[in-house]
Amino acid sequence: MREQIAQLEELAAIDEQLRRVEEQLKTRREGLQGLRSSLQDLESRMGTDRESVAQMEKTQKDLHAEIRNLLNQIERSREKYSRSRTERETAAAQRELEELRKLVRDREDELQKLENVAQSARTSIGEADAKATGVRAELEGTSEGTLGTIGDLEKEKAELESRRSVASKALPPVLYRRYESVRTRRPRAIASTHDGTCNGCHIAIPPMMYQKIQRQEEFDQCPNCRRIVYYTPAPSASPPDASASA
């Protein structure tokens, strides 16, 4: 029983270390992943913006061509107007001219609107580009170090896992299964007691159970937190001179 307590404590200590290593790994990986994905976001946003700027530039070109075409038509209309003989012809030429001029104004308005949108898209591309440069520099600066740390942590994790495998096989299978079942709910699955209070949840263990635990005959579980609970004498329980004479 004493030996099993020591084995359980060792296993719990390994699990504790494993948990810490896994947390650090997670933080490092998430940090790297976060930088990478924000770079990806920026690049895809820039891609979309560049496409729409290109589209707008094409439309602007088309509009310019249309305006040139309309101006030619206006020129012809003016000639028609100057050649008109009758009032009817004059009125018709005037109407045509007005319509054409209105079409030119509409195209010019459209051009101006497009230019405003394109300009703000270019600004946002510039901003995203500056941000991406910063993220890239951060990635280059940290990724080597972070990857190195991740490598070290992975090595540490593998070592702990092999130690864990040895430690878990040392325990009786029934006890190990119990330990694992508690561990699904409690990261630290064991708790000691030296005064009848469970060290895991700090709640008193029923006296009958505590007596049994104190005799160290078998493992029990705390009725409150379900941790595997075992008795260890308090460090201060033995008088200082007793250890000196031992």
Using CB under 5 A as the criterion, which residues of the chain lie in contact with Zn ion when the complex forms?
198, 200-201, 222, 224-225
DSSP annotation of 204: B
Shortest spacing between CB 225 and Zn ion, in angstroms: 3
Name, in order, each residue with C-beta under 8 angstroms of 45's C-beta and a sequence gap of 6 or more: 124, 128
By beta-carbon proximity to Zn ion, the closer residue of 142 and 224 is 224
Shortest spacing between CB 151 and Zn ion, in angstroms: 39
DSSP 159-170: HHHHHHHHHHHH
By beta-carbon proximity to Zn ion, the closer residue of 150 and 201 is 201
Shortest spacing between CB 146 and Zn ion, in angstroms: 39
Give the Cα-Cα-Cα angle 226, 227, 232 (nearest 5 degrees): 135
By beta-carbon proximity to Zn ion, the closer residue of 97 and 175 is 175
Shortest spacing between CB 125 and Zn ion, in angstroms: 59
**Rounded to whole angstroms, how far apart are CA atoms 178 and 165?**
16
What count of residues does the chain have?
246
Shortest spacing between CB 8 and Zn ion, in angstroms: 15
**Rounded to whole angstroms, how far apart are CA atoms 137 and 128?**
14
Strand, helix or coil at 176? helix
By beta-carbon proximity to Zn ion, the closer residue of 77 and 192 is 192
By beta-carbon proximity to Zn ion, the closer residue of 100 and 213 is 213
**Rounded to whole angstroms, how far apart are CA atoms 187 and 185?**
7
Whether residue 31 contacts residue 191, with contact meaning beta carbons closer than 8 Å, is answered with no
